[in-house]
Copies of this chain bind each other. A is one copy, B any other.
């Protein structure tokens, strides 16, 4: 039998579709997973483009995208696309204009520089629309912890460094986890329940960070993860997961929005901590 097509009616609202994908994506074939990841983070592309250009963007064949829609239970691509489109309807125009204020400058001769600025702005704009609730929850958790262990390598390293700096400034004990992979795991095993792990990882996800998250969750240690997709291996149901989508320019993703999130997270945590101490 082919990959089981979900027999139930497919989600008719984007929100449901998104969470369905987060749940089941690990059971999907490889290519379908790529499509899922892309669809969740670039819904506007799915809504506005043809199968051909989307497939090229993702780097899969058009058939794959069609099968993706089918495997979710939709009648076909167009059927699925209509869900994405529905989620864009009734947009208030003034807001759209505001977002594109920079675009006008770009129309003719955008300097390379401006392109980066635009991408960063977009990412932040998108970020600011996410649930504030989640962020506050995360802040509280950080404030509650006796020690915050921070893990993040490669492109995530600057975020670790910044969060470490900020948390300490805000009066919280924070430690950056460093060392050889095996040592890291050993360190993680020593984290107690009153402490917590703050994991940062972006695609391509480093195995190290993932392992740390595994260890902590297994030990009932609280985890907050910052990542670029809720499909990321460090996004778990047991952890608070803050998602950030940085746009790509010239093949590279920035960190502007991520830094904004980090700053906010640290400052909010600091406030919580201050309240706790004064009581």
Indicate how many identical chains form the complex: 2
Q: Which A61-94 residues have a C-beta within 8 angstroms of B?
A: 85, 87-94
Give every chain B residue within 8 A of A103 (Cβ-Cβ): 13
Complex Cα distance A252/B15, Å? 30
Interface size class of A (residues with CB under 8 A): 35 or more
Could you tell me the dominant secondary structure of chain A's interface residues? Answer: helix
A93 & B129 in contact (Cβ 8 Å cutoff): yes
Q: How far is the CA of A98 from the CA of B127 in the complex (A)?
A: 11
Q: How far is the CA of A129 from the CA of B264 in the complex (A)?
A: 25
A245–B101 CA distance with the chains assembled, in angstroms: 18
Tell me if A165 is interfacial: C-beta within 8 Å of chain B.
Answer: yes
* Shortest Cβ distance from A111 into B: residue: B132
- Verify B117–A125 contact, CB threshold 8 A: yes
Bitwise, A103-119 to B at CB < 8 A (1) or not (0) is: 11101000111101110
Chain B residues closer than 8 Å to A101, beta-carbon distance: 128-129
In angstroms, Cα B14 to Cα A111, docked, is 22
Contacts A112-B264, A128-B113, A128-B117 given; indicate if A104 touches B256 (C-beta within 8 A): no
A102 at the A/B interface (Cβ < 8 Å)?
A: yes
Give 9 A-B pairs besides A43-B93, A90-B95 with Cβ atoms closer than 8 angstroms: A15-B104, A44-B88, A116-B264, A124-B256, A157-B165, A162-B255, A252-B266, A254-B259, A254-B260
9 pairs of residues in contact across A and B, judged by CB atoms under 8 Å? A12-B107, A90-B122, A90-B126, A91-B91, A91-B96, A102-B125, A117-B128, A155-B162, A158-B161
